[in-house]
Structure 1
Amino acid sequence: MTIAAVITLFFSFLLLLFPPSTAEIKTLTITSDNRPVILLEKFGFTRTGHVSISVSRVSVAGPTSSEAEPSQLGFFLLSKESLLQVLVEIQQNPTFCVLHSRHTLHLCTFRVLSPPPSSSFNHTYPITTPNEYSLFFTNCNPDTAVSMSLRIELFNLNPTLTYLSSAHTHLPSLFFLFSVAYFSFFAFSLSLTKHLLIPSLLLANAINLLSAAALKHRLNLAGTPRASDHILFFLSRFARVVLLFAVVVLVGTRWTFLHPINRKGKTVLFFLIIPLQILAHVAFAVIDKTGPYIQNWVTWNQVFFLLDFISCCAVVVLFASAMLLLRRITSKAQKSEPAMNLDRFSLIRRFYLLVFGYMFFTQFVMLALKELIAYDYQWVSNLIEETVTLMFCFVVLYVFRLLEKDEYSVIGDVEEEEAAENTVKK
């Protein structure tokens, strides 16, 4: 096996950090693909797990296609724990075919294909060792490309047939309970603030979690979600993320729709963060709709995470400049109602630190946590993330109400005075 295969295997397991696809029944077509290793799907199996593989219209093309050995093309399962042993085997013998490794769970090779022209087979394989596995197709024949139609079903029998990975079986109930919590919080927030932005964020969170619960429930029963569930989940997720950034920027730069707008905050939100999030969700839609088998799937994941990370960095830079401004105007603010102003400035600084901490947690800590948690307890990471987000929304509403009481009058006036002074100087 070539160096390209080693690199592909390594980066395929980096995909465990990326958002999983949302169908455990896959119907796909591979056309003239010369990759030595193709990651098809990831799934957590119990002791009653099964893999069903149906292949048809298989063809192998290339200069050496007539000499292609069928036993060198096939499907196997590989656990995360076995990856290192497989990489060592390949390093010791560069021509080694991973299909022959004792560390992989061998399924089948193209020797089981029916004769041309049909060139097909259909078989189900029981999985008796519970673990999270990645399903791969490998082609150890150099300089050849494979074309085929493929249908994959991954499921457990516990005792009824379930298409959800063992790590995700609790997610429908979990998402539904959090959606109820957000709907209740939304109703409560309407009586606390006259602005609708934060209640809108809570409502978007509630709808997004409800749609996620419906999507996972449908996936568990049928193996593929309905198109309507997918569309609602995508739109509500986009609204949830954009509104979260909007609320953070609004509160952090101390401007509302009833207050003269902070120009820097408005520019960053409407001309940087929202366009970045639109592009990020286009990448998310591609990731969610396809799967790891497409050639540019890793690139699309990288684009998604990069755009999301840049959005967070934009907020951090905006808040850093705002903190410098607060430091400059603190001395001026102390001249009128010093105690009130210093308390308000201290509150805003704590809010900045809270936002920094939340972004660091969701961007980095959660990725590390998902890697450390055992595969069948991955739902715990969702529980932690949603709990932290719910608490963050509570704190944002609390801070917003404190600053809203006087319509940001003191801070707003000071900033406007400095802006006016800068304008005069120019």
Structure 2
Amino acid sequence: MALLRPFLLLAVALLASFRPSAAEIRVTEVRSDGRTIIPFDEFGFTHNGVLELNVSGITLSEDSANVDQLGFFLSTRDAWIHVVQQLQDHEITCPLESSLVKNVYSLDQLKNPNPNPSGLSIPRSSSFGTVFSQHDPGQYTLVFANCVRGLRISMTVRSAMYNRDARTGRPAYLSTGAAALPLIYFLLFLAYAALAAVWVAVLLRKRLAAFRIHYFMLAVVILKALNLLCEAEDKSYIERTGSAHGWDVLFYIFSFLKGISLFTLIVLIGTGWSFLKPYLQDRDKKVLMVVIPLQVVANIAQVAIDESSPYARDWVNWKKVFLLVDVVCCCAVLFPIVWSIKNLREAARTDGKAAVNLMKLTLFRQYYVVVICYIYFTRVVVYALVTITSYRYFWTSVVAGELATLAFYIFTGYKFKPEVHNPYFVIDDEEEEAAAEALKLDDEFEL
């Protein structure tokens, strides 16, 4: 039991770290795995849930192993916590014995009724297929239990979890909490398409005052819109067929371009490129040289996480890499804004244009605060929503994150829009004196 405990605790951690996924049809290769608990996929079932499980090429490291303690089961997070408690209290010796889990298939059903002289408990390279109907709604994880100490197993697992439509009977391969995502992503695509159209109209009307960065901002909005369109199609195909049919590739491409362009835009605005100066300093270039490769790594990690189940040996490592890189990128993009604020504070005292620099300073301070709020909301608050809301309302965390992103785009465009008569340079003497007084009070401000 002492040997089982580390694996059980690891399984609890894995189950707790799950986020509701699309759970498309997935094929997983298990090779000589000796883990006590092997989690595969998670899915939110309705009253008409179905699990299709096909396992082939089952081979055991010990020919005479007790296969009664090998099998697949479904469990919710809450039920699994109680199962672990039952194991620790020695009420049961294997999760398959608990009444809190739903046993899908036990390998003792593969026993050879007429064992051959070699003493094999099941035929070598056995296979089976089963269809399990799930009528109790909930968020369930498909898990394989191996309660035979020292036994290693190899097999190919094909799992398909879906909910049948009550009216048509057709399968819907999206988890119940993600069923609304195709429509949500498409509506968001329309919103960004409209935002891009508005920005094009602004650039055409004020093209004499437009800088290169304004056109770069347009490119970022277009990439975001295409990213949402591909994600809507990706989720739509998965819902109908269980497979993305190539839309996931387009989604990853545009997600990669959108991620790099967005962080690059924040760095360029933070350095004041085009607004304060037509060039980048060496330290600004170094930030870009750090952020862009990190975004490449983050996107690779995201693909590895999405395309593999928690069974994959490197799944947890890739998840950690993605979180670490994301945090580093978020911190890196703040430095250029801090540098610009510092430079504006110094310039406001030396070049005789206190009011001009004070207004620019106020703008960059506002942008700094908004960037921090955007990062905090999309990285912390959204994750909190995923963990505290019911699996049926997983889509609410997606909507919250996307609306925060849309608000950030609108704020950036509004504050840094092209102006023919730049208000920063139309300041009279009274405003200049007021700005000088404000700069005296500004010394108390600390980031």
If the length of structure 2 is used for normalisation, what is the TM-score? 0.84
Equivalent of 1:202 in 187, 198, 221: 221
- In structure 2, what residue type is equivalent to 1:154? M
1:349 corresponds in structure 2 to 365
Counterpart contact for 2:356–2:424, Cα < 8 Å: no
Q: Indicate the SS of the match to 2:47.
A: coil
CA distance in 2 between counterparts of 1:408 and 1:72 reads 75
Counterpart contact for 1:53–1:122, Cα < 8 Å: yes
Counterpart contact for 2:53–2:157, Cα < 8 Å: yes
Q: Does 1:188 align with 2:198?
A: yes
1:152 corresponds in structure 2 to 159
Q: Indicate the SS of the match to 2:100.
A: coil
TM-fit CA distance, 1:373: 1.1
1:294 corresponds in structure 2 to 312
2:207 corresponds in structure 1 to none
Residues paired across the two proteins, number: 401
Equivalent of 2:301 in 275, 279, 283: 283
Residue by residue, what CA displacement relative to the aligned partner does 1:21-63 show, whole Å, maximum 9, x if unpaired? 55421122211111111110010000000111111221110xx
- In structure 2, what residue type is equivalent to 1:397? G
Identity over the aligned pairs, expressed in percent? 31
Q: Does 1:311 align with 2:334?
A: no
2:99 corresponds in structure 1 to 102
CA distance in 1 between counterparts of 2:15 and 2:291 reads 30
Residue by residue, what CA displacement relative to the aligned partner does 1:76-128 show, whole Å, maximum 9, x if unpaired? 11112223212222322398211112222222210122642452221111111
CA distance in 2 between counterparts of 1:130 and 1:304 reads 32
CA distance in 2 between counterparts of 1:164 and 1:158 reads 12
RMSD: 2.3
Q: 1:272 to 1:218 in 2, by over 3 A?
A: same
CA distance in 2 between counterparts of 1:268 and 1:181 reads 31
CA distance in 1 between counterparts of 2:22 and 2:257 reads 20
Q: Indicate the SS of the match to 2:328.
A: helix
Equivalent of 1:395 in 399, 406, 411: 411
Q: Indicate the SS of the match to 2:40.
A: strand
Counterpart contact for 1:75–1:137, Cα < 8 Å: yes
Gaps of 5+ in 2: 113-122, 204-209, 427-447
Q: Indicate the SS of the match to 1:93.
A: coil
Counterpart contact for 1:259–1:407, Cα < 8 Å: no
Q: 1:262 to 1:406 in 2, by over 3 A?
A: farther
Q: Indicate the SS of the match to 2:202.
A: coil
CA distance in 2 between counterparts of 1:392 and 1:319 reads 16
- In structure 2, what residue type is equivalent to 1:171? L
Q: Indicate the SS of the match to 1:196.
A: helix
Per mean C-alpha deviation after superposition, the further-off stretch among 7-16 and 172-181 is: 7-16
- In structure 1, what residue type is equivalent to 2:397? S
TM-fit CA distance, 1:407: 12
Counterpart contact for 2:383–2:397, Cα < 8 Å: no
Residue by residue, what CA displacement relative to the aligned partner does 1:204-236 show, whole Å, maximum 9, x if unpaired? 110000000000010011111112x12110010
Q: Does 1:220 align with 2:239?
A: yes
CA distance in 1 between counterparts of 2:91 and 2:6 reads 11
2:385 corresponds in structure 1 to 369
CA distance in 2 between counterparts of 1:108 and 1:23 reads 20
- In structure 1, what residue type is equivalent to 2:250? L
If the length of structure 1 is used for normalisation, what is the TM-score? 0.88
Gaps of 5+ in 1: 411-426
